[in-house]
Amino acid sequence: MEITACHVAKGRPREFDTDSALTAALRVFWTKGYEGASLSDLTEAMGITRPSLYAAFGNKEALFKKTLDLYQREKLDYMGKALDAPTARGVAERLLTGALEMQMSSCDPKGCMGVINSVACGTEAESIRAEVLQRGALVKQGLIDRFERAKTEGDLPGDTDVIGLTAYLTALLQGIALQAGSGTSCTDLKALIDTSLSCWPSK
Amino acid sequence: MEITACHVAKGRPREFDTDSALTAALRVFWTKGYEGASLSDLTEAMGITRPSLYAAFGNKEALFKKTLDLYQREKLDYMGKALDAPTARGVAERLLTGALEMQMSSCDPKGCMGVINSVACGTEAESIRAEVLQRGALVKQGLIDRFERAKTEGDLPGDTDVIGLTAYLTALLQGIALQAGSGTSCTDLKALIDTSLSCWPSK
DNA sequence: TACATTATGTACCGGTCATTATGGAAATCA
DNA sequence: TGATTTCCATAATGACCGGTACATAATGTA
């Protein structure tokens, strides 16, 4: 049904590229958030009409989740790779510098798509909020597991509070995203990360 | 004009208490954000009708700024007091534990009113965002000045990057607010603060 | 009592929201 | 060619948004 790449299209072929349209939608959601992005904003940026959007992506919520997938796949890949660092400190280093590099990219919107959409808004977006929070919880759990492993490997002190350390690092990343989205300069962000790394409790 | 406490009211007296109405409005903005809070939400919580709201407070934006004043005055007073701590570490300690205590209060909404409203949303709320960001910048500047002083007093190492340290502490506070508003348990928040304090780069 | 002033409740305004029904044009198939 | 399928564009839907006229009620002053 969904995957029609193997079939030859029977009727009139689609006149726009779904991927580039999705990328355009991502930029809109990224800068304006789910509720702040109207269908007019989206269709204008995507270069398609409303019925085309609904035919191709379902509705606004489904479109958002597809852009969220794209965002995680293309923009948050450094997070997965960070967990492969040999030490806990290396993980933190890759995460912090990865977040910084992402905010330095001049062609992308500032801030974090996840952070923007995890704050409370109207009741209509409650399911959106839940979705974003759930994905964030998965990332957090990955960090907890990684730090737990670091503890057994002797990489972190045996009395380390892994929950606390994870919440601490997560808070830093969230704060970075927030400040990046609020106009904090790149030099200030770099100073933030340098300070964070100089504070990190393991070698 | 504004202060009519000395005069006897001339027309029909107001049937509701402006202060308690403002407190009710604060709770709504605090939990739903500026855009998420509709006038129906507000009037219902305040127990007044739409025209009464406009007569007493101007419009939605003016009402929001008044609730922001109330929030800063009553809920963020610990921030001003924190700057009076004798050492930089004491300042950080008071800020972090103050933020924690605030989130532990079971009768208030979770998260931070400022953080919630500093994220990007619709274009209509751009002035709101600017107002919130400006107030946040003032707080940040106060921290910078305090840490500068700590440096001259020998309380912080002479090579301390004050900008970085301030951004770092601010990021932690923002992350705490974000996680508190996202359902993170109080015990996890406490672990976050403990980890933060154990990392703090001065005695 | 008469009047000015202020607050109140009802009912409504124009505008925007996400979503969809309708209809015609265009591209594939047999 | 004819049938089928999917496209695009217009515009309508019902709900909700922030903001207001309007008439009425309650106070002060004269």
DSSP string, A154-167: TSS-TT--HHHHHH
Which of B122, B136, B161 faces A194 most closely, judged by CB atoms?
A: B161
* CATH homologous superfamily, domain B15-60: Homeodomain-like (1.10.10.60)
In chain A, what residues touch B147 (CB-CB under 8 Å)? none
Question: Whole-number Å distance, CA B51 to C1' D20?
Answer: 8
Number of Cβ pairs < 8 A linking chain A and chain B = 153
B53 and B39 Cβ atoms separated by less than 8 Å:
yes
B148 and B162 Cβ atoms separated by less than 8 Å:
yes
Q: Where are the alpha helices (DSSP H) in B153-185?
A: 162-180
Q: Where are the alpha helices (DSSP H) in chain A?
A: 18-36, 39-46, 50-57, 60-75, 77-82, 88-104, 113-116, 126-152, 162-180, 186-199
Residue with smallest Cα–C1' gap to D20: B51
Q: Which residues touch strand C (CB under 7 A)?
A: A 8-13, 37-40, 50-51, 54, 59-61; B 9-16, 48-52, 55-56
CB interface of B with A, residues 105-134, below 8 Å: 111, 115-116, 118-123, 133
Q: What is the pTM of this model?
A: 0.93
Question: Whole-number Å distance, CA A25 to C1' D12?
Answer: 26
Residue B1: is its pLDDT beyond 50? no
Residue A2 carries which side chain, given as an amino acid letter?
E
Chain A interface test: which of B119, B156, B194, B197 (most A C-beta within 10 Å): B119
Long-range residue pairs from B50-58, CB within 8 A, at least 24 positions apart, any chain: B52/B16, B56/B14, B56/B18, B56/B21, B57/B22
What is the rounded CA–CA span in Å between residue B17 and residue B55? 13
- A74 class by beta-carbon count within 10 Å (0-12 exposed, 13-18 middle, 19+ buried): exposed
Average pLDDT in chain B = 93
pLDDT at B7: 53
* CATH homologous superfamily, domain A76-198: Tetracycline Repressor, domain 2 (1.10.357.10)
What is the rounded CA–CA span in Å between residue A152 and residue A157? 9
CB interface of A with B, residues 36-95, below 8 Å: 36, 38
B196 and A172 Cβ atoms separated by less than 8 Å:
no
Structural tokens at position A194: 């340098």
* A57/chain B closest Cα distance in angstroms: 23
CA triple A19-A25-A28, angle to 5 deg: 150
DSSP B123: G
Question: Whole-number Å distance, CA B23 to C1' D22?
Answer: 30
Q: What is the pLDDT of residues B154-180, one digit of tens each?
A: 999 999 999 999 999 999 999 999 999
**Residues sharing a CB contact under 8 Å with residue A129, sequence separation 6 or more, in sequence order:** A117, A118, A119, A120, A121
Q: What is the pLDDT of residues A3-12, one digit of tens each?
A: 334 445 677 7
In chain A, what residues touch B173 (CB-CB under 8 Å)? 175
Residue A202 carries which side chain, given as an amino acid letter?
S
Grouping H, G, I as helix, E, B as strand and the rest as coil, residue B190 is helix
Q: Which nucleotide is nearest to B16 (CA to C1')?
A: C7
- Which bases along strand C come within 7 Å of a protein CB atom? 4-11, 16-23, 25-29
Q: What is the pLDDT of residues B17-61, one digit of tens each?
A: 999 999 999 999 999 999 999 999 999 999 999 999 999 999 999
B30 and B116 Cβ atoms separated by less than 8 Å:
yes
Question: For chain A, what are the domain ranges?
Answer: 15-60, 76-198
Phi/psi region, residue A78 (left: phi>0; alpha: psi -120 to 50; beta: rest), is alpha
Rounded average pLDDT per 10-residue block, chain A, 203 residues: 45 86 95 94 94 94 95 96 97 98 92 91 86 96 98 95 98 98 95 97 82
In chain B, what residues touch A194 (CB-CB under 8 Å)? 161, 164
B167, A161: Cβ pair inside 8 Å? no
CB interface of B with A, residues 149-168, below 8 Å: 161, 163-165, 167-168
- Higher pLDDT: A13 or B68? It is B68
- Which bases along strand D come within 7 Å of a protein CB atom? 4-11, 16-22, 25-29
pLDDT at B79: 97
Structural tokens at position B100: 């924690």
Residue B110: is its pLDDT beyond 70? yes
Burial A128-147 (b: 16+ CB within 10 A, else e): bbebbeebbeebbebbbebb
Q: What percentage of chain B exceeds 90 in pLDDT?
A: 87
Q: Which nucleotide is nearest to B35 (CA to C1')?
A: D17
Which of A38, A165, A174 faces B174 most closely, judged by CB atoms?
A: A174
pLDDT at B5: 44
- Can you tell me the mean pLDDT for B138-148? 98
What is the rounded CA–CA span in Å between residue B55 and residue B38? 17
* A96/chain B closest Cα distance in angstroms: 12
Q: What is the pLDDT of residues B69-78, one digit of tens each?
A: 999 999 999 9
Nearest 5°: phi and psi at B47?
75, 25
Q: How would residue B66 be classed by pLDDT, with cut points 50, 70 and 90? A: very high
B115 and B174 Cβ atoms separated by less than 8 Å:
yes
